[in-house]
Amino acid sequence: MKIIGNNPAADNAEITAVASGTLPNGKPVIVNSDGTVSVVSGTDEGFSSTVQISSGNIDSFSRSTFCRVTNKVVVAYSDSSSSYYGTVAVGTISGSSISFGSPVVFESGEVRDFDISEAGSSKVIVAYRNQSSTNDGTARVGTISGSSISFGSASVFFTSASTISVGYDSNADKAVISYRKDTAPNYMVSRVASISGTSVSFGTEANVSTRAAMGEKGFGTTTFDSNLNKIVVSFIDSAWGLYSAVGTVSGTSISYGSLTTVLTGNYQRYPTSTFDTTSNKVILSWHDTSAADAGKVVVGTVSGTSISYGAAVEYASTAPYTASSSVSYNSDLNQTVIVFSDASNTSVKLGTISGTDISIGDAVVSTFDGVGLSSTYDSNSNKAAILGKSASRLRSELYLPATTTLTAENFIGFSDGAAADTGRARVQIGSGINGVQSSLTAGQQYFVQTDGTLGLTADDPSVIAGTAISATEIIVKG
């Protein structure tokens, strides 16, 4: 015979354990790896407070990277309050905030088209178009020390270059600079950059393709496939099509396979890319002006010296503001962080890859009105730094992922009475009845939510708490 109600055997289905933290009465409880027990806790995804980096005005966009050796975020920008000098700042993430050291000038001249990448050791490399020197394509190596950075001498890789992007091949310990030659036939080309101390030298120029590229800042992007040790360059051609090519570094040289067409004739703009180290996929995003400038993203698979793409997915149906989108990969969440702005608010959506498909989650919206956005993922703190122009200044905030102590396996029951930290805790487990709940509906199944509350729908992870038998009582799932 089944008894529902005050069944002494069921009511006494409990264990005792040492509490880690205080346990209020009647709360969902998890078991920790050391055998102690705690209440379920978590936070919703959101954003940190916004901090100002520059004291003067900046040009329309920024570029950023994360140095894994020093655990620092480094952002490059053009200081329009100081004759558009090329400038960088070093950021440190601590908890749920980011702070920056004093900005450092890397080029005392007008810089408008630039990119930055980590470069091994405590180094970054910045590649840029020096408009104060006949538009020379130039690079410098920066060495990070604490919250500051110092730069070596400038090295020119090509006279009159644009559409500049830079990536780092960690396998070869080489940077790869890709750029449009502003001399006919305006091909997109690359050079391998070798770093020695604070100096940089360049290998032989190699064509990314024999298509003419569009000479615009932010119209090229480079990422590194760390699974196959390949460089992937994507760019906008002179007919507004979007193309990608796969490069292989050998010594001081790079060679490319055949060009892959992503989209043609649709007036594509502002490509950005990153690499998913879990599924070993390239993620490429851009603005599609033929579709109301919608933000789109696609998954790429490198095979040998070529890349193929799945179907494009729209992440924003209306136009992200000019050059105001960026992607980075969060290896802790195993998701792509898509950042975009409409000049009033900055939004983040998470993308999850399955095969060659990507599904896009709901937007979480910040009051940060940044434009010309860049983003980079800090793998030490598991947070994405977002950087952009707001009220003419360079500012930054963090995207803070949702957190929870709940897993698919660690829920064991409900606290039976309160317990102090390190004190003796009683936990009602499977088939026990906890009678100190409120507002439950008898006959309904309830799920443990990631913040430690109960709900009628599953959260992520999906964990069943039990079935209510009254407004105050729940039978703990066995």
- Do 330 and 458 share a structural domain? no
Cα gap 395→55, rounded to integer Å: 10
Check residue 477 and report its DSSP letter: P
Which of 349, 380, 401 marks a domain boundary? 401
Final residue of a structural domain among 374, 401, 428 = 401
DSSP H helical ranges for 347-420: none
Please write the tens of the pLDDT for every residue from 120-168. Answer: 999 999 999 999 999 999 999 999 999 999 999 999 999 999 999 999 9
Q: Is residue 1 part of a domain?
A: no
Whether 35 and 72 share a structural domain: no
Give the domain CATH number at 18: 2.40.300
In a domain, 393, yes or no: yes
Whole-number Å distance between alpha carbons of 272 and 328? 9
Q: Six-digit token pair at 7?
A: 């069944």
Q: Using 50, 70 and 90 to split pLDDT, how confident is the model at 381?
A: very high
Statement: residue 184 has pLDDT above 80: yes
DSSP 101: -
| pLDDT beyond 70 at 12 | no
pLDDT at 51: 98
Q: For residue 78, which of 58, 95, 94 has the smallest C-alpha distance?
A: 58
The mean pLDDT of the chain is 94
Joined together, the tokens standing for residue 147 give 């919250």
Banded model confidence at residue 465, pLDDT cuts 50, 70, 90: very high
**Domain of 434?**
8-43+405-476
Same domain, 330 and 414: no
Query: What is the rounded distance in angstroms from the CA atom of residue 143 to the CA atom of residue 121?
Result: 9
**DSSP codes, 278-317:** TTTEEEEEEEEGGGTTEEEEEEEEEETTEEEE---EEEES
Do 456 and 396 belong together in one domain?
no
Region at 452 (left for phi over 0; alpha for psi -120 to 50; beta for the rest): left
Query: Do residues 367 and 430 both lie within one domain?
Result: no
Share of the chain above pLDDT 70, in %: 96
Residue 279, in any domain of the structure: yes
Largest CA distance in the chain: 91
Asked if residue 385 is part of any domain, the answer here is yes
| Residue 89 shares a structural domain with residue 78 | yes
Smallest Cα–Cα separation from 128: which of 173, 68, 193, 70?
Answer: 193
pLDDT more than 90, % of the chain: 90
In order of 16, 23, 31, 140, 449, the CA distances from 20 in angstroms are 13, 8, 9, 51, 20
Asked if residue 101 and residue 31 are part of one domain, the reply reads no
Does 123 fall in a domain? yes
Confidence tier at 317 by pLDDT (50, 70, 90): confident
**Rounded distance between C-alpha atoms, residue 470 and residue 324, angstroms:** 52
Q: Same domain for 244 and 100?
A: yes
Local confidence band at 320 (pLDDT 50, 70, 90 cut-offs): confident
Residue at a domain's end among 361, 384, 401:
401
Q: What is the CATH number of the domain that holds 296?
A: 2.130.10.10
For the chain, the domain total comes to 2
Residue 3, pLDDT above cutoff 70: no
Structure tokens, 455: 């709900």
Q: What distance in Å separates the CA atoms of residue 464 and residue 478, rounded to the nearest whole number?
A: 10
